[in-house]
């Protein structure tokens, strides 16, 4: 099934960890290569570094930007908050993957309206551009988070509304399929707990953990990209795709990295807006959520969009929580080894890992 062949793909917030892996994945299939991938973001420094990385240049030169528009990967400076910037980026696009976000929980707690402008108004700008400019966009994928499920923090609240903005837009934009993916903590993404633990261990400790009981879902960047790809292939308008992924106690993640080193673990207390456990499907959503191989599909609640599940599929009978089943320390260690995220791997490949 061809997803991208000869199409223009826009990745908003594309200079982030997800955007880089997603871009590599899309370019990896010569039989399904897009005409262009547009990386839309507001950080010119990150764009410059990513541009050099994808052109495999070792020395920065001032003239590389002038040939940028002749290449498959194109970089556009702009802000998801700005309607006119969004219109310029989306013009001619077939697929839009919205990865632009304010995602740090404490930052969103202290600057809530900033989160509203990026996470909600940004999504609304995409929807408005499609409607007002009559863009012939086939699919929009909204990248969401487990914090949008039963949200108690600003980041989760704004992401939950972003989901609703995209789902509802299927009614007013029937020519475009708007869908979402929702998943948990991405291993070693920028600002996540594993890079923090790496730095603390390298410094000799202590390693800081909020509470002994706290659990989180864990998945690799590759699995996050898998979820986007599966949703692009199979999701109906308004559906949310959720990967079935392992969970772990954060203190066990810390211990699996520390191993037998003489490093202290210090419990610092829950940060503003944090939960002890996260959920990917709430008990209220369970009645319209169905197993779909390695994923759960959350059907839209709007009657205009809801499709009856055919066959013998059964809805879930409870919420999908990170507290349900957690990995052991050894299982976590094996997961980190698989993805080359142990402290030993970091020290060996530090330059590559921290790029």
Give how far Cα 290 sits from Cα of 29, 148, 168, 231, Å. Answer: 30, 19, 20, 14
- Burial label, 332 (beta-carbon count in 10 A; 0-12, 13-18, 19+): buried
Strands (E), 136-288: 139-145, 177-183, 185-186, 207-209, 215-219, 240-243, 247-249, 265-267, 279-281
Annotated catalytic, 147?
yes
Dump the DSSP string for 252-294. HHHHHHHTTS---EEE--PPTT--SS-EEE-HHHHTTEEEETT
User: Which of 147, 150, 159, 275 does the annotation list as catalytic?
Assistant: 147
Q: Per DSSP, what are the bridge partners of residue 297?
A: 241, 290
Q: What is the number of other CB atoms lying within 10 angstroms of the CB of residue 162? A: 26
Preceding peptide of 327 cis, ω within 30°? no
Distance, CA of 164 to chain centre? 17
Catalytic positions: 147
């Amino acid at each position: 099934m061809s997803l991208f062949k000869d199409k223009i793909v826009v990745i908003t917030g594309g200079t982030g960890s997800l955007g880089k892996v997603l871009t590599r994945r899309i370019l990896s299939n010569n039989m399904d290569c897009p005409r262009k991938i547009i990386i839309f973001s507001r950080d010119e420094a990150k764009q410059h570094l990513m541009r050099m990385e994808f052109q495999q240049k070792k020395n920065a030169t001032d003239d590389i930007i002038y040939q940028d528009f002749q290449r498959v990967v194109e970089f556009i400076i702009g802000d998801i908050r700005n309607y006119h910037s969004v219109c310029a980026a989306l013009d001619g696009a077939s697929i839009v993957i919205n990865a632009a976000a304010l995602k740090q929980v404490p930052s969103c707690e202290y600057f809530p309206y900033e989160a509203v402008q990026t996470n909600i108004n940004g999504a609304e700008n995409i929807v408005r551009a499609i409607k007002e400019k009559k863009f012939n966009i086939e699919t929009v994928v909204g990248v969401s988070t487990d914090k949008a499920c039963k949200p108690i923090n600003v980041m989760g609240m704004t992401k939950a509304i972003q989901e609703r903005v995209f789902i509802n837009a299927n009614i007013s934009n029937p020519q475009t399929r708007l869908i979402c993916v929702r998943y948990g903590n991405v291993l070693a993404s920028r600002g996540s707990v594993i890079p923090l633990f790496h730095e603390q261990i390298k410094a000799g400790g202590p390693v800081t953990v909020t509470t002994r009981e706290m659990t989180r879902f864990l998945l690799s960047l590759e699995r996050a990209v898998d979820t986007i790809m599966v949703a692009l292939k199979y999701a109906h308008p308004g559906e949310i795709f959720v990967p079935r992924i392992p969970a772990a106690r954060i203190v066990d993640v810390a211990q699996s990295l520390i191993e037998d080193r003489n490093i202290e673990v210090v419990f610092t207390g829950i940060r503003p807006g944090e939960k002890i456990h996260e959920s990917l499907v709430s008990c209220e959503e369970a009645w319209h959520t169905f197993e779909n191989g390695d994923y759960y599909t959350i059907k839209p609640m709007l009657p205009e969009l809801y499709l009856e599940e055919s066959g013998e599929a059964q809805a879930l009978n409870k919420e999908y929580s990170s507290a349900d089943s957690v990995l052991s320390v050894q299982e976590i260690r094996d997961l980190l080894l698989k993805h080359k995220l142990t402290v030993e791997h970091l020290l060996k490949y530090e330059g590559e890992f921290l790029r």
